[in-house]
């Protein structure tokens, strides 16, 4: 991950605390990437540019770039969920000029800070080139319509990197139990119906697939994938955003951002069953489990039956 660098120096520590104020604008937050912030512990931020709320005048584009902490944390003594940099971008140079910086959290609002930094060309070892591209050549479609959806994205990114099961308030519903016939053997798939998040007609869900056989050389029988999946309820689409491969003992073998293309859900597939649970409230199979550990125990017991390996 790249360090957060702004021109010749870092100004993150000097930002002020504020609370979000909804603007009367059609926001469209497009993901640029992830970065680490120059704060104790090197917190991870997922970075988005608001291409929908950008304005252009006199050859320069003004746009907000949001650094959503994953998860929110104390930064410089203040509880912070995200930081917004307001950039003025000259596409012909190109150059970037930071107009204002605001930190957002649960505390009282204060005025944004102007760091007093001059316009500078994009830094090669930063997200500057991606910011310029988003401001000057915004994608024709895609992105989130609200800051709440951006923060959810960051939260699910953090969940995909985590390996624990911190609180027993889940509801893992069985979507399907498929027999063998592939290299991975049988597979049981659950969706956490208690942790669904819906914004702009898209439901984000945690999907757990438990496999009879190892998916890679370091994996063991009973390994499982935790995927964060976005379901478009009206369009009947899905897209996997994050995935983590975990061994039965809890060892995370792989974890990464997928950002797969949005694709139609095919009728008669497990994906359709998952979408129906996420979007339509379908009941799924069997009794829901309230912890990941309980869901895994059910799957491992089920996959251990001889007929599941056929």
Using one digit for the tens of pLDDT, what is the confidence trace for 276-295?
A: 999 998 888 888 888 888 89
Q: What residue has token string 């119906």?
A: 193
pLDDT at 21 (0 to 100) = 38
Query: Within this chain, do residues 103 and 14 fall inside the same structural domain, yes or no?
Result: yes
Q: Which of the listed ranges 127-141, 247-261, 291-305 does the model predict with the highest average pLDDT?
A: 127-141
Lowest mean pLDDT segment, chosen from 105-109, 187-191, 242-246: 105-109
Of 160, 192, 147, the closest CA to residue 296 belongs to: 192
Lowest mean pLDDT segment, chosen from 57-66, 148-157, 277-286: 148-157
- Average pLDDT, stretch 34-51? 81
Tokens of 102: 């605001």
Query: Within this chain, do residues 126 and 13 fall inside the same structural domain, yes or no?
Result: yes
246 part of a folded domain: yes
Per-residue confidence band for 179, with pLDDT thresholds at 50, 70 and 90: confident
pTM of the model as a whole? 0.53
Q: Of the candidates 149, 177, 208, which is a domain's last residue?
A: 149
Average pLDDT, the chain: 80
Is pLDDT at 272 greater than 90 in this prediction? yes
Supply the range of the domain harboring residue 221: 165-309
Query: Within this chain, do residues 195 and 96 fall inside the same structural domain, yes or no?
Result: no
Query: Within this chain, do residues 129 and 178 fall inside the same structural domain, yes or no?
Result: no
Query: Within this chain, do residues 143 and 196 fall inside the same structural domain, yes or no?
Result: no
158 part of a folded domain: no
What is the count of structural domains for the chain? 2
Query: Within this chain, do residues 123 and 240 fall inside the same structural domain, yes or no?
Result: no
Query: Distance between CA atoms of 167 and 284, rounded to whole angstroms?
Result: 22
Cα angle value 200/206/211 (rounded, 5°):
145
Tokens of 35: 């970065």
Q: Of the candidates 149, 173, 203, which is a domain's last residue?
A: 149
Query: Within this chain, do residues 179 and 236 fall inside the same structural domain, yes or no?
Result: yes
Query: Distance between CA atoms of 282 and 261, rounded to whole angstroms?
Result: 25
Question: Side-chain half-sphere of 10: how many Cα atoms within 13 Å?
Answer: 10
Query: Distance between CA atoms of 34 and 228, rounded to whole angstroms?
Result: 17
Question: Side-chain half-sphere of 138: how many Cα atoms within 13 Å?
Answer: 22
Query: Within this chain, do residues 176 and 138 fall inside the same structural domain, yes or no?
Result: no
211 part of a folded domain: yes
Q: Which CATH number covers residue 80? A: 2.40.128
Please give the sequence-ordered ranges of beta strands (E in DSSP) within the chain, or none if there are none.
Answer: 2-3, 16-18, 29-36, 44-50, 55-57, 60-75, 78-90, 95-104, 172-178, 187-192, 197-199, 202-211, 224-232, 237-246, 252-257, 263-264, 285-289
pLDDT per residue over 193-240, tens digit each? 888 888 778 898 999 999 988 899 999 888 999 998 999 999 999 999
Q: Helix, strand, coil shares of the chain as percentages rounded to 5? A: 15, 40, 40
pLDDT at 51 (0 to 100) = 92
Query: Distance between CA atoms of 161 and 248, rounded to whole angstroms?
Result: 16
Do 147 and 121 contact (CB within 8 A), yes or no? no
pLDDT at 261 (0 to 100) = 81
Per DSSP bridges, beta strands 78-90 and 60-75 are antiparallel
20 part of a folded domain: yes
pLDDT at 207 (0 to 100) = 94
Pick 307 or 195 by higher pLDDT. Answer: 195
pLDDT at 181 (0 to 100) = 61
Of 235, 37, 209, 34, the closest CA to residue 130 belongs to: 34
Per-residue confidence band for 109, with pLDDT thresholds at 50, 70 and 90: low
């Amino acid at each position: 991950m790249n360090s957060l660098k702004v021109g010749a120096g870092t100004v993150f520590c000097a930002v002020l605390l504020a609370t979000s104020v909804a603007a009367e604008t059609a926001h469209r937050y497009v993901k640029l990437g992830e970065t680490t912030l120059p704060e104790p512990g090197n917190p991870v931020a997922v970075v988005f540019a608001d291409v929908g709320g950008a304005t252009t005048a006199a050859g320069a584009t003004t746009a907000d770039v949001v650094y959503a902490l994953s998860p929110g944390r104390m930064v410089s003594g203040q509880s912070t969920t995200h930081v917004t940099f307001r950039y003025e971008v000259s596409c012909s140079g190109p150059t970037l000029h930071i107009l204002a910086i605001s930190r957002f959290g649960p505390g009282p609002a204060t005025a944004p800070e102007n760091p007093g930094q001059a316009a500078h060309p994009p830094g090669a070892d930063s997200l500057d080139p991606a910011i310029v591209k988003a401001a000057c050549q915004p994608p024709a479609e895609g992105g989130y319509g609200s800051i709440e959806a951006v923060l959810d994205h960051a939260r699910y990114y953090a969940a995909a990197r985590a390996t624990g099961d911190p609180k027993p308030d889940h509801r893992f519903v069985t979507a399907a139990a498929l027999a063998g016939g592939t290299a991975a053997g049988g597979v049981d798939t659950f969706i956490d119906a208690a942790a669904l998040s819906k914004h702009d007609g898209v439901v984000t869900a945690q999907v757990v697939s438990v496999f009879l056989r190892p998916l890679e050389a370091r994996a063991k029988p009973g390994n499982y994938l935790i995927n964060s999946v976005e379901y478009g309820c009206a369009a009947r689409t899905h897209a996997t955003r994050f995935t983590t491969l975990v061994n039965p003992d809890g060892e995370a073998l792989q974890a990464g951002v997928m950002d797969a293309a949005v694709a139609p859900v095919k009728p008669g597939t497990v994906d359709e069953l998952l979408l129906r649970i996420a979007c339509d409230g379908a009941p799924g199979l069997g009794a829901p489990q309230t912890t990941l550990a309980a869901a895994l125990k059910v799957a491992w017991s089920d996959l251990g039956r001889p007929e599941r390996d056929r």
